[in-house]
Amino acid sequence: MLPSSAALSAVLNTASYLAPGPAGRAAFRVFRLPLARSRPREAEAALMARAEVGRLDVNGESVVTYRWGDGARPVLLVHGWRSRGSRLALFAAGLLERGYSPVAFDAPGHGDSTGRTTTVVEYREAIRLLHDLYGPFEAVVAHSVGVMASFLALRDGVRADRLAAIGGVCEFEYLVDEFCTALRLRPRLRQELRRLIEQRLFPGEPDFWTRFSVVHDPEAVKIPLLVVHDEQDELVGVDQARRIAAAYGDRARLVTTRGLGHQRILAGPEVVAAVLDFVTGSAD
């Protein structure tokens, strides 16, 4: 649920009876906002202090990037919504120890990057720019919304040998449906929100409701996949992971956990070990 979601739900739904247009625009603004900017944690500080920090321009926003190692065997780390690159620090540290060169970033509106919000298209653009600088990647390790963005980037020419998808969102439509359900939005308000998303977020992106799905055209991403998801994920249902694994068949291996939830899964020792073994080929 969103912060103060009961009060926000009441305000938006009540307003939609009197002024559906302004209420829809208000819902759209809330949908786009991360609402809270994640701060680095003490446990991440030492590794982040060792990073080579850079910046990229993504749609006029300054995106902060992080790079470790000597550049050999690069692995891209992609964080999720209301998160930041440092949340994948355990994976970066493990990769460094094994001779890889992790690369991460803070999406617009997240971490130390500028902006108030972002879209999966801007995630995809950041991934593409990092690929131009440091790719092709030995692997991509992605979490949550970063999983969807990574699949989109791989379809659009970014090259990687493997992809580890942790707590991943399978479909953009799922994000919208979960947002509307969390706020208990009236059907008319839901329709207005969808119209504004189509008109303002993705103009010139025909049929994006279909194309912005991880399971759309699975033959376009033919690399091995590790799909990791907690059965008690409170934000992204485990069915999203099962859909990904089913769509990619023999190329995908599904690993489920219990009790870690959506964020703590990134610190689960068994998850970190499984992903590192997958990236380095130790699990083959």
| Tens digit of each residue's pLDDT (9 = 90 or more) over 178-235 | 888 888 888 888 999 999 998 888 887 778 899 899 999 999 999 999 999 999 999 9
List of residues 6+ apart from 158 with CB closer than 8 A:
127, 128, 131, 135, 136, 137
Write the pLDDT tens digit of every residue in 34-63: 656 678 888 899 999 999 999 999 999 999
**Separation in Å, CA 253 to CA 79, 166, 180, 249, 283:** 21, 12, 31, 8, 11
Beta pairing partners, 140: 76, 163
Task: Summarize the confidence of residues 136-149 as an average pLDDT.
Answer: 97
Quickly tell me which residue has 């969102």 as its tokens: 169
Nearest to 227 by CA among 154, 156, 141, 160: 141
- Kindly tell me if the per-residue pLDDT of 1 is higher than 60: no
Mean pLDDT for the chain overall: 91
Ranges for all domains in the chain classified under CATH 3.40.50.1820? 39-171+212-280
Task: Tell me the whole-structure pTM to 2 decimals.
Answer: 0.91
| Predicted local distance difference test score (pLDDT) of residue 184 | 87
How far is residue 142 CA from its own chain's centroid?
Answer: 6
| Predicted local distance difference test score (pLDDT) of residue 46 | 92
Give the H/E segment covering residue 203: none
Most confident of the following: 19-33, 129-143, 170-184: 129-143
CATH 3.40.50.1820 fits 39-171+212-280, yes or no: yes
